[in-house]
């Protein structure tokens, strides 16, 4: 398949320039913080605080991934931190392992525990995850305190060893601190990178709209499990470094309260960016130390802070800062950009009018209600196939069964000769079935272009040139619907009609073999509707197979090559538009018995 080889766009240049500036800032900060502990002699007390801050921040980066990117709660970060810390503690003190081996084991244990928790609870709603993570935290605290023969109980573990690098032992605390800070920067960079990667975009899509993410090709469950596991890994890794820094660990350092502290750090700083995580951690570790008078009530103040942040500053300090920056210096739109063409014809050229989708005796029952009842029809390639019917006739239910959101009660669906009956929504997307929703489902916190890139990055969509190629493809799809100039805007700032077009562009970027449109004309004014008809005609001209539901007969008549009519869940007519629209059953369903007689 040919990729979209366009000249470097202004969009790409803008991104590159931003990245260069980011790198310079990052390098300056890294050098400054690395040189500080080596150049300035610090007291043990200050070294400890800095070690705590840097290792905690690594664990809080985990929350950036799971809560900030993927929108899933984790109230057991202190437990994963504890797993890492106790692995290093017991590994080096009891079993005389090398620090690095113990750290690797601790990180691996945290990964396994995180994956196990995620796999069991991430299929369910968010409150289950909250509960399961609290339970896990509670059980781990009980085990640490009560399994005395292994964990040494409430007394804790002393005599923890520090690592050596190339035979050089890092015994000195300031050297160990440098190690922690190096780790902090590497992990922070990777987490930031993740946010702009394919996986990170999938996470954010799942966070913003799980259902739409699935239909666009994101395996939401797997994405959430990966996010949760990564979060646990960073918890374990940070904990391991923490144990090496303090040479002593005890169960109360890894209690539920600490999980809450981690959460507060992430929320205060700004949960959607690793910069926020680092900022929040630094503030909450350095502030209480300087505000010692708060010691007795500091957790009460944390609790109060959590509520206040949620109410007044949901994006945290960094998030509010970024929002302010965006308002003062709005992003330059890319009106003058070179918009590459969307390679539609190359993808849609099927052999003749081959059968693309074959639906046989498809049923969907909700209890006693037969929303879709034994419906069969065939969609041929390169046609526009309309599904019409009165309100409540089962059209949207049928579309939900076709895109895999509902599991059918009975019947079969074959797409390009393969059965898709048992495939999940993201697997159908991977087979080339795209769709839009009647009540628009965009990824609200992402930019227009990022919404469309999520569509472009579906599995099975060969795009040359990796991320840049996908970005070009997304820009091409936006150009096709006429919105390239809004690529960098937030989707929430678009009009209703434009949001609909972004949804279509998102589906187009996935290079679908077939596009399912659920009432694309709903809520559009006359002018917008005419533009939509024009767009759909262009798509048909490119040979894209479209399956469309709509109420607007005018729109359907202008577009459809073939119409299937549903009433009370059953198919009452199927055929060419002219004959279907004259069919007595259809007239009866739409206009009632009287009108039917009058027409007859």
Partner 1 sequence: MGIALQLLFTGLGVGSIYALVALGFVLIYRATNVVNFAQGDFAMLGAFAMVVLCIDIGIPYGVGIAITIVAMAVIGALFNLGVYYPLRHRSFLPVIISTIGASILLENGVLAAYGPRPQSLPGMFETQGFSVGPVFFDSQYLLIVGVGILLFGLQYLFFEHTILGKKMQATSQDKEMASLLGIPVATMIMLTFVYSAVLGGIAGILVAPILFVSVSMGSSIALKAFAASIIGGFGDVRGAIVGGLALGVVETFGAAYISVPYKDAFAFLVLFFFLLVRPQGIFGEKISEKA
Least Cβ distance, residue 367 to partner 1 (angstroms):
12
Based on the shown chain and the rule CB under 8 A, indicate whether residue 210 belongs to the binding site for partner 1. Answer: yes
Among 16, 169, 186, 297, binds partner 1 (CB under 8 A): 297
Based on the shown chain and the rule CB under 8 A, indicate whether residue 260 belongs to the binding site for partner 1. Answer: yes
Based on the shown chain and the rule CB under 8 A, indicate whether residue 306 belongs to the binding site for partner 1. Answer: yes
**How is the chain split among helix, strand and coil, in percent rounded to 5?**
60, 10, 25
Please give the backbone phi and psi of residue 419, each rounded to the nearest 5 degrees, phi first: -75, 130
Least Cβ distance, residue 312 to partner 1 (angstroms):
9
Based on the shown chain and the rule CB under 8 A, indicate whether residue 23 belongs to the binding site for partner 1. Answer: no
Positive/negative CA dihedral, 7, 13, 15, 19: positive
Based on the shown chain and the rule CB under 8 A, indicate whether residue 405 belongs to the binding site for partner 1. Answer: yes
3-state class (DSSP) for residue 374: strand
Based on the shown chain and the rule CB under 8 A, indicate whether residue 398 belongs to the binding site for partner 1. Answer: no
DSSP 423: -
Edge-to-edge strands, sheet with 514-518: 433-435, 514-518, 545-549, 384-388, 562-567, 570-575
Please give the backbone phi and psi of residue 548, each rounded to the nearest 5 degrees, phi first: -125, 135
Based on the shown chain and the rule CB under 8 A, indicate whether residue 132 belongs to the binding site for partner 1. Answer: yes
Cβ nearer to partner 1, comparing 138 with 333: 138
Among 32, 40, 44, 311, binds partner 1 (CB under 8 A): 311
Can you tell me the distance from the alpha carbon of 94 to that of 128, in angstroms, rounded to the nearest whole number? 37
Give the footprint of partner 1 on residues 367-396 (CB under 8 A). 396
Least Cβ distance, residue 139 to partner 1 (angstroms):
5
Can you tell me the distance from the alpha carbon of 521 to that of 528, in angstroms, rounded to the nearest whole number? 8
- The count of residues interacting with partner 1 (CB under 8 A) is 49
Give the footprint of partner 1 on residues 273-292 (CB under 8 A). none
Q: Which long-range contacts (CB under 8 A, 24 or more apart) does 568-574 make?
A: 568/370, 568/373, 568/392, 568/393, 568/394, 569/370, 569/371, 569/372, 569/373, 569/375, 569/393, 569/394, 569/397, 570/373, 570/374, 570/375, 571/374, 571/375, 571/376, 571/377, 574/377
Based on the shown chain and the rule CB under 8 A, indicate whether residue 127 belongs to the binding site for partner 1. Answer: yes
Least Cβ distance, residue 407 to partner 1 (angstroms):
10
Cβ nearer to partner 1, comparing 176 with 437: 437
Going by DSSP bridges, is the β-strand pair 369-380/514-518 parallel, antiparallel, or unpaired?
Answer: unpaired
Based on the shown chain and the rule CB under 8 A, indicate whether residue 34 belongs to the binding site for partner 1. Answer: no
Based on the shown chain and the rule CB under 8 A, indicate whether residue 135 belongs to the binding site for partner 1. Answer: yes
Q: Name the segment binding partner 1 (CB under 8 A); options: 7-15, 32-40, 116-124, 501-509.
A: 116-124
Cβ nearer to partner 1, comparing 76 with 285: 76
Cβ contacts of residue 190 below 8 Å, gap of 6+? none
Based on the shown chain and the rule CB under 8 A, indicate whether residue 304 belongs to the binding site for partner 1. Answer: yes
In order of 99, 123, 423, 497, the CA distances from 219 in angstroms are: 37, 12, 12, 28
Least Cβ distance, residue 570 to partner 1 (angstroms):
21
Positive/negative CA dihedral, 175, 63, 200, 13: negative
Cβ nearer to partner 1, comparing 210 with 561: 210
Can you tell me the distance from the alpha carbon of 111 to that of 230, in angstroms, rounded to the nearest whole number? 7
Based on the shown chain and the rule CB under 8 A, indicate whether residue 492 belongs to the binding site for partner 1. Answer: no
Least Cβ distance, residue 124 to partner 1 (angstroms):
5
Which residues of this chain interact with partner 1, rule CB under 8 A? Answer: 67, 71, 73, 75, 120-121, 123-128, 130-132, 134-136, 138-139, 142, 146, 210-211, 256-257, 260, 263-264, 267, 296-297, 299-300, 302-307, 310-311, 314, 396, 399-400, 405-406, 437
């Amino acid at each position: 398949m040919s990729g979209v080889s366009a000249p470097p766009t202004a969009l790409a240049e803008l991104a590159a320039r931003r990245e260069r500036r980011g790198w310079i800032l990052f390098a300056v900060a890294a050098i400054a913080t690395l040189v500080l502990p080596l150049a300035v002699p610090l007291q043990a007390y200050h070294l400890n605080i800095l070690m705590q801050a840097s290792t905690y921040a690594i664990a809080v980066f985990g929350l950036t991934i799971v809560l900030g990117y993927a929108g899933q709660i984790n109230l057991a970060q202190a437990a994963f931190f504890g797993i890492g810390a106790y692995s290093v503690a017991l590994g080096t003190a009891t079993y005389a392992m090398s620090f690095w081996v113990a750290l690797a084991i601790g990180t691996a244990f945290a990964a396994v525990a995180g994956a196990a928790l995620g796999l069991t609870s991430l299929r369910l709603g968010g409150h289950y995850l909250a509960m399961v993570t609290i339970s896990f935290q509670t059980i781990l605290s009980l085990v640490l305190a009560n399994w005395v023969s292994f964990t040494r109980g409430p007394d804790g573990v002393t005599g923890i060893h520090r690592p050596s690098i190339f035979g050089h032992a890092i015994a000195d605390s300031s050297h160990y601190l440098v190690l922690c800070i190096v780790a902090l920067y590497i992990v922070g960079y990777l987490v930031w990178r993740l946010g702009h990667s394919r996986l990170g975009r999938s996470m954010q899509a799942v966070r913003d709209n799980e259902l739409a993410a699935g239909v666009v090709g994101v395996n939401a469950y797997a994405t959430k499990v990966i996010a949760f596991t990564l979060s646990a890994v960073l918890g374990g890794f940070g904990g391991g470094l923490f144990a090496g820094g303090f040479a002593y660990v005890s169960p109360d350092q890894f209690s539920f309260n600490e999980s809450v502290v981690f959460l507060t750090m992430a929320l205060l700083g700004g949960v959607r960016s690793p910069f926020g995580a680092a900022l929040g951690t630094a503030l909450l570790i350095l502030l209480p130390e300087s505000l010692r008078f708060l010691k007795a009530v500091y957790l009460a103040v944390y609790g109060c802070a959590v509520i206040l942040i949620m109410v007044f500053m949901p994006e945290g300090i960094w998030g509010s800062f970024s929002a302010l920056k965006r308002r003062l210096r709005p992003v330059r739109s890319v009106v003058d950009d070179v918009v590459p063409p969307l390679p539609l014809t190359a993808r849609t050229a099927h052999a003749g009018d081959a059968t693309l989708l074959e639906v046989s005796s498809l049923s969907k029952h909700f209890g006693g209600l037969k929303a879709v009842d034994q419906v069969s029809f065939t969609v041929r390639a390169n046609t526009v196939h309309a599904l019409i019917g009165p309100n409540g006739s089962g059209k949207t239910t049928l579309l939900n069964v076709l895109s895999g959101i509902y599991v059918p009660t009975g019947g079969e669906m074959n797409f390009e000769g393969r059965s898709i009956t048992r495939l999940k929504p993201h697997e159908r997307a991977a087979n080339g079935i795209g769709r839009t929703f009647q009540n628009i489902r965009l990824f609200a916190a992402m930019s227009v272009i990022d919404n469309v890139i999520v569509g472009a990055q579906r599995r099975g969509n060969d795009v040359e040139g990796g991320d840049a190629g996908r970005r070009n493809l997304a820009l091409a799809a936006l150009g096709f619907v006429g919105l390239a100039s809004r690529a960098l805007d937030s989707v929430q700032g678009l009009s209703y009609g434009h949001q609909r077009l972004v949804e279509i562009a998102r589906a187009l970027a996935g290079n679908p073999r077939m596009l399912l449109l659920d009432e694309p004309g709903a809520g559009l004014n006359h002018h917008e509707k005419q533009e939509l008809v024009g767009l759909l005609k262009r798509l048909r001209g490119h040979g894209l197979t479209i399956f469309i539901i709509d109420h607007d007969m005018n729109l359907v008549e202008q577009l459809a090559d073939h119409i299937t009519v549903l009433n009370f869940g059953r198919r009452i007519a199927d055929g060419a538009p002219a004959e279907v629209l004259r069919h007595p059953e259809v007239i009866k369903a739409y206009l009632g018995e009287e009108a039917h007689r009058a027409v007859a």
